[in-house]
Amino acid sequence: MKKINLLALSVFLSVIAWAQPVQFSISNKASIKMGGSDTLLFPYTGGLNAPQFNKIDLDGDNIADLMVFDRTGNKVLTYLWKGNRFVYAPEFESQFPPLFKWVLLRDYNCDGKLDIFTEVDYNAQPQPEKFIASNGMRILKNVSTEPGKLKWQQDKNQLMDIGLGALPPANIGLNNTDIPAIEDMDGDGDLDILIMPFSRNVITYYQNMSAERGHGCDSIAFLFRDECWGYMSYLVNTNAFLLNDDSPCYRNYKRAAKHNGSTITLYDADDDGDLDVIYGDPEFNDLVFLENGKSIHKLGRDTMISQDTVFPRNTVRASVPMFPASYLIDADNDGKKDMIVAPNAEAAVKNKDQVLFYKNTGTAKVPVFTYQNNQFIVGQTFDLGGGSIPVFVDIDNDGDKDLVVATQGEFTQTFNSNDRLYFFRNVGSASKAAYELVDSNFLNINNGATKIQRIIPTFGDLNGDGKQDLLIGDLNGKMHFYANTSVGSNITFNKESSDYFSIFGGTSAAPQLVDLNKDGKLDIVMGRKNGSLAYFENKGTATSPDFTSTPSIDSIGKITAAEMVLSGGTPYYFDGYSIPHVCDLDRDGNYEILLGSEQGRVFLFRNFDARANRVCEEVSGIYRDNRTASSYSNLFFGFKTSATTADLDGDSIPELLIGNVRGGIRMYETKINGVISNVKEQTKANSNWVLFPNPAKSVVSVRTDKNNAGLPYEIFDNMGRSYISGNLDAYETLIQINSLPPGMFFIKAMDDEGNAKVFRFLVQE
């Protein structure tokens, strides 16, 4: 292998290791009241839509804490048990690997540590040439060695049925909309699996044969055992089961209507030694309880002998619109498992006040679930339901920043077609913000017959009267203008246009009013579904604006919120749904831009201005959710993010607020390390590049622009040894790195003029 010049390498390493000029750390600086006298204990968790619940000791104190996974956005939230309640502790969230769709924590290898069962990961293929099918199961082994420091190692990325005789191994196919049961079904000490297969209405049993084959718990060997477990089949149109369905069971599911999902929870409800079932279905709101008669069956087989379609019958019925899932955890650490019920669908379901808590008022062996409330965990957090787009604005002209949040609201009330604005007045001060909800339907935006969908607000004084006017972008790309006509403390707005200057912002138009060219007039920077940004220059005056219907500059900054992921090794591009927030974080007179995205990141680009040839550079690795951690990273906050900033504590450094599709918000305080801007014009080799995924396993992608097509690149290690070389393609270069050993590597590209770009990336095992 040829050598890279080590002096040059040391220069590159010093540049890469330099601390980022801006860093964001999770914060809780401003209090929030949602109504009444109570201040929210944990307002900035980001909200919950379709949460799943598992207990695990996070901090190593031998007391079980709470891990919540929301399938909407694939977001992990962590809570410590302190003072007889769960306390939000985000510092543990980054200790979990990327997880998808569903999560069950189970100790599969009997080492006393909970492992992870979840949906497969297309980007973590142990053998890249083997296709990883979606709708399957993988296992991540808990290999933690220090208390309070969780570590995971992927054990299986595709659980297979081992097959018998001539039958080859086959994928254990689980619809990733579902939640399976993973429990010891036969009492032999290892974990078995129950699922309801695709388009069938019977439950299938996979037995773990490790014990039967004389192996230990850490040997996984699942074998298909019963395609009609429990001798029952689901009656699709009635949310009930046909019981004791012995010989007709197979025929029944063949002729039944197709079935499309299930949640399965197992527990011994009557202490008779067999496992009973709580079942949820995507077409219904209610749970079904099924009693297992295995203990009285003449052959000792799992057989459902009775059912209750009004469950629990002794208290308020567990009903969640729709697709309910049940979780049996000790929610109050009294030694008895309680029941939590929440929606399991990602969209078009109840998404506020939707987490039902049933306390076990019976015994540990014979539980009795008694309804307590519908706000378990979510009752002490800021959560508006369907999405949140926060905007700081001094709307009452009292010198401090108020907060307006756009949302689709609670789905069962708005059906995603009655968006609204929430107004939180700053009842604190400019140096100590405190927010209180004063209007949950601010300005009554959608009071007419024609509804504005996906409202994205921005404020600015467009007519020069010193008051903050309102401009709203919508799903169809139209601009709606509301003039601020407030007098004193009486806040009023008058809608003057539903098609402001005939501007078409693009699908899911996301405007921001900002004087981008610094001529004293408010311009518009526009986000949109494809992820790029458009610039509409104000050609009028500060008191009488004038905009053209088409952008002055399309794709301004040459940046995008669109991202690529790998599915089975194949690149797949997601729309960006960019939402811009132009700001000057370091107050040096040069703009930065925070950019919300579909996939959940909030990007930061520097040197953002009104020049058509400007190519903005991303500032990466700037967030941390653990205030004691020394490193910062790229975080995912949940789908469809947005950002806004304001100085909330009077130190002249802005705080950052991030919204997402789960309806909550997350706050970060800012640390400035010098000057963010780098005003040197970008050359074609120094233009905006993105490398991902990082860390990587089998493939890495370099995204640049067409001007860099043909540039030679080289991958080398920290000793300067060269491993892979080639030439960049236009826009996107996919590089196979299967031959690289685990460790740190660098990729460098250089043009004929000697301009170089270097990225560092980690190759995982």
Q: For the chain, which ranges sit under pLDDT 50?
A: 1-18, 254-256, 568, 680-687
Note the pLDDT of residue 691.
79
Note the pLDDT of residue 757.
77
Distance CA 27, CA 668 (A): 5
Note the pLDDT of residue 33.
95
Contact between residue 525 and residue 582 where contact means Cβ atoms under 8 Å apart: yes
Note the pLDDT of residue 761.
86
Indicate if the alpha-carbon torsion angle 251, 254, 259, 263 is positive or negative: positive
Residue located via tokens 């980001």: 46
Distance CA 526, CA 513 (A): 9
Distance CA 232, CA 107 (A): 29
> Cα dist. 355→51, 193, 311, 373, 618 in Å?
8, 26, 16, 8, 38
Note the pLDDT of residue 682.
41
* Burial of 349 per CB tally in 10 Å (0-12, 13-18, 19+): buried
Which amino acid belongs to residue 355? Answer: V
* Burial of 432 per CB tally in 10 Å (0-12, 13-18, 19+): middle
* Distance in angstroms between the alpha carbons of the first and the last residue of the chain: 22
> Cα dist. 350→381, 406, 462, 578 in Å?
17, 18, 38, 26
Note the pLDDT of residue 134.
76
Distance CA 582, CA 595 (A): 8
Distance CA 230, CA 237 (A): 20
Note the pLDDT of residue 13.
42
* Burial of 440 per CB tally in 10 Å (0-12, 13-18, 19+): middle
Residue located via tokens 């929610």: 331
CA-based nearest residue to 52, from 287, 299, 354: 354
Distance CA 423, CA 457 (A): 12
Other residues' Cβ atoms within 10 Å of the Cβ of residue 182: 22
DSSP states of 247-301 as a string?
TTHHHHHHHSPP----EEEEE-SSSSSS-EEEEE-TT-SB-EEEEE-GGG-TT--
Query: What is the pTM assigned to this prediction?
Result: 0.85
Which amino acid belongs to residue 629? Answer: A
Distance CA 157, CA 138 (A): 4
